[in-house]
Amino acid sequence: MRQAYVDVAGLRIGDKYPVRVMGVINLSSESFYKGTVAVNEDAIRQTITKLDEEGADIIDVGGASSAPKKIYGTQEIPVHEELRRVTNAVDIIVSMTKLPLSIDTMSSQVAEKALDMGVSAINDVSGLKADSNMATLVSDRAVPVILMANCKPYCDSIQASLESLRGSLSIALDAGIDTNKILVDPGVGFGKPPNVDYELLHNLGAFTVLGQPILVGVSRKAFIGSLLNQPDPEDRLMGSIAATSVAVYNGANIIRTHDVKETRVAACIGEAIRQNGKAGWLSQSGDSQ
């Protein structure tokens, strides 16, 4: 199936375009990985400068952690606090960078404020299912949206993730959201058993049936720590890089990461193998006859 592309403030994602790297800035002290947490102006400025210098294509701004509570003990943050964090930070961020921004939130109130302040896209890990007003907001503002597979308590198979995304796509289309505004995220992590995460990455191509660009986030997640006996996310960089190359090789169009510089290298390798591997094999087969 021919895959669509999505334009985020001039950045084209999907189809035949290069794999993109989405850098993360977390405004939430409760986030599971502290390396990209920025809770004051100096830290925000330092983080944005680093993301810019390391070659991020887009920056994802999060005001409340969505890491699974059962793994990290993540506390739930009220919407008014998430809104305060985002409002305080986005003015600083848009003054510092020309990169497109997305807002990582399940709240239409937070998303609307961020859009008003210059953010270009919405990253909703609930897949439009947490806030009944989110789909209408996306449609009315005609902005790109990332829909993540989100099952309760978690998607326990590829089929479950696909069905969840089909449900989210149905919500989006019913609200009048154009398909050329939608990216999909299979939802690696988020409390799944590690074997399900491995299965998702191995069979990532199954999600091309949805016809939308694919975002994958593997950065420092628990399935890496489980395999390598690394309970501290600080130790999971090498595993994240390995998983990134696999994800790109298997079809990811954009990678969300805490580590932009290293992820760009891993994505470059995965993309080169994806693009040249089959052609090289066919050429060699032809030469041998």
Smallest Cα–Cα separation from 252: which of 217, 214, 287?
214
Largest CA distance in the chain: 68
pTM for the model stands at: 0.90
Beta-carbon count within 10 A of 4 CB:
18
Q: Among 85, 129, 192, 221, which one carries the catalytic annotation?
A: 221
Cα separation, 145 vs 102, whole angstroms: 9
Q: Indicate the domain borders of the chain.
A: 5-190+206-216
pLDDT (tens place) for every residue of the chain, 289 residues total: 556 899 999 999 998 999 999 999 998 776 766 677 888 999 999 999 999 999 999 999 998 866 555 554 556 788 999 999 999 999 999 999 999 999 999 999 999 999 999 999 999 999 999 999 999 999 999 999 999 999 988 899 999 999 999 999 999 999 999 999 999 999 999 889 999 999 999 999 999 999 999 999 999 999 999 999 999 999 999 999 999 999 999 999 999 999 999 999 999 999 999 988 654 444 444 443 3
Q: Among 20, 181, 192, 256, which one carries the catalytic annotation?
A: 256
Tell me how long the chain is.
289
69 assigned to active site: no
45 assigned to active site: no
Choose the CATH number for 5-190+206-216 among 1.10.8.100, 3.20.20.20, 3.40.50.300, 3.30.450.40.
3.20.20.20
